[in-house]
Amino acid sequence: MAGENIPEKLKAILAKPSVSILLEIYRTTHKNPPEPAYYSKLVEKCDYSRETTAKALAELEGLSLVDSEWEKIPASAPRRWVRSYSVVSEAIPHVENLAKTLQMKK
């Protein structure tokens, strides 16, 4: 039956770094209180190499699912710039549905 393959399909989808990173960006920026999703934090939380993370973020930006901007961190000694990522507003409902579906399957 087609319904029996859903968990395997979800596992295959989640195995893609871009999906895991997209969900992590959503979780980080939509929790209470929201936090910025910095590149270095995404590498750390998702446990992918910097190269894999960069490729996944480029793919997500190319698909117009994620947007990024440079932010200045005022608290750092030499003021430093970091890149912050967010899910674009048009994609939020779809990412929310994906996150809810994955929670139900756990």
The per-residue pLDDT for 100 is: 85
Global pTM exceeds 0.85: no
Residue 30 lies in domain: 2-105
Instruction: Give how many domains the chain has, as a whole number.
Output: 1
User: The domain spanning residue 100 has which CATH number?
Assistant: 1.10.10.10
The per-residue pLDDT for 3 is: 45
The pLDDT tens digits along the chain (106 residues) read 344 455 666 666 667 899 999 999 999 998 888 888 999 899 999 889 999 999 999 999 998 899 999 988 777 667 788 899 999 999 999 899 888 887 755 5
41, exposed or middle or buried, with CB in 10 Å at 0-12, 13-18, 19+? Answer: middle
CA 45 – CA 35 distance, rounded (Å): 13
